[in-house]
């Protein structure tokens, strides 16, 4: 099998799975219980939180364990909106955000909030100058993703943070689900107020995530109850999930440090060969994250190519996994100004450190053969 749909989800690392199972079996007690078993669970939870904080170079109390990227983004955006609406109801984001940000902002419009959806250029990058011009006295939040999940384009987070810092009454949220473990993002140094991460994108397990909430930031909790997770997220703590994501984070950070050059190498190899392949147009900009390559094959339906490759035990995707079952064009590519023939025929190849050069060669050969066969059928 050649698996190239890692931006949708990665294969869980065996050590992460083992940790999750062991903790589930041995530390099953509720961490909020006052007896000894509960205390042991609470201690393990605190250790996991401390490990995550050290790896992200932030304070332990700034780590909130969640169920993943979607919950984290909803917590951050709705939490700021509801807590600080007395200060203003204007939020700034972009037209190419993940559905968990884009649809969250759409839902807030129904509650009277005004959202500015900044456009992007053909590379999928916003204009810092336009963002700065969009800030108003009633702006309470800027929410921008670090790495786009379809294109791999990188937003100028440092520059945005510098602008946000000049407006102390607004908050800056970053969706770093796709950037974690591939591109460094120094949270404290960049004055980021909230940041979202997901476990199953870094060889962790589904249902685990992290929301970084800077210690000076207050948000309205979406869940009320027992005041767990610093009162940000009530509900019985997922001890095994917290340990699992801490393990996965350490795992991916080590690989980022030691194997980044490998990932960039196979990315460059793909780009060079795809650029020479008949019928293929590359959508991903040259300056991009090393693990995502987006291409279009105008005239061919992407799902047909995907199924053809799947018969060869090769797996890629189209659009975001959260919107891939929706027909029609990619909202992201359309926002970049690509014509419909290109935005409706996009394929996403997403890699991880496990992928090899031999796998890339086989994939390229089979993709080229699939395009040739399908083009003949279309004639």
Nearest CA among 247, 157, 149 for reference residue 202: 247
Q: Where are the beta strands (DSSP E) in 146-227?
A: 171-175, 194-198, 209-213
CA distance 52 to 242: 9
Q: Can you tell me whether residue 206 is helix, strand or coil?
A: coil
CA distance 150 to 333: 9
CA distance 244 to 17: 7
CA distance 133 to 335: 20
Told to judge if 322 belongs to the known catalytic residues of this protein, a careful annotator would answer yes
Q: Can you tell me whether residue 42 is helix, strand or coil?
A: helix
CA distance 193 to 190: 9
Angle between helices 14-26 and 239-275 (to 10 degrees): 170
Neighbours of 28 (CB within 10 A): 11
CA distance 171 to 69: 19
Among 105, 195, 322, 336, the active-site one is: 322
Catalytic residues: 322
């Amino acid at each position: 099998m050649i698996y190239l749909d890692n931006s949708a989800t990665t294969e869980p690392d065996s050590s992460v799975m083992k940790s999750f199972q062991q903790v589930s079996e041995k530390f099953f007690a509720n961490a909020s219980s006052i007896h000894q078993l509960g205390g042991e669970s609470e201690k393990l939870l605190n250790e996991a939180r401390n490990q995550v904080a050290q790896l992200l170079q932030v304070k332990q109390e700034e780590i909130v364990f969640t169920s993943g990227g979607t919950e984290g983004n909803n917590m951050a955006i709705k939490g700021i909106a509801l807590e600080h609406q007395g200060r203003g109801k204007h939020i700034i984001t972009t037209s190419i955000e993940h559905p968990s940000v884009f649809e969250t902002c759409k839902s807030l419009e129904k509650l009277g909030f005004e959202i500015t959806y900044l456009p992007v250029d053909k590379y999928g990058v916003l204009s810092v100058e336009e963002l700065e011009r969009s800030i108003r006295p009633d702006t309470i939040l800027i929410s921008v993703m670090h790495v786009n999940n379809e294109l791999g384009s990188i937003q100028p987070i440092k520059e945005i943070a510098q602008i946000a810092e000049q407006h102390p009454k607004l908050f800056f949220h970053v969706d770093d689900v796709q950037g974690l473990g591939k591109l460094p993002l120094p949270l404290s140094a960049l004055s980021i107020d909230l940041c979202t991460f997901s476990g199953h994108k870094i060889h962790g397990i589904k249902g685990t995530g992290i929301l970084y909430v800077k210690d000076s930031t207050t948000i309205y909790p979406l869940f009320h109850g027992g005041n767990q997770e610093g009162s940000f997220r009530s509900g019985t703590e997922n001890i095994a999930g917290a340990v699992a994501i801490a393990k996965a984070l350490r795992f991916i950070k080590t690989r980022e440090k030691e194997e980044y050059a490998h990932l960039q190498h196979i990315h460059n190899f793909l780009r060079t060969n795809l650029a020479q392949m008949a019928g293929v147009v590359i959508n991903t900009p040259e300056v991009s994250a090393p693990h995502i390559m987006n291409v279009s094959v105008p005239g061919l339906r992407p799902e047909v190519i995907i199924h053809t490759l799947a018969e060869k035990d090769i797996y890629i995707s189209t659009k975001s996994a959260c919107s891939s079952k929706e027909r029609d064009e990619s909202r992201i590519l359309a926002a970049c100004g690509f014509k419909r023939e290109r935005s409706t025929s996009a394929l996403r190849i997403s890699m991880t450190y496990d992928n090899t050069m031999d796998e890339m060669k086989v994939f390229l050969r089979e993709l080229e053969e699939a395009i040739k066969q399908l083009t003949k059928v279309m004639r």
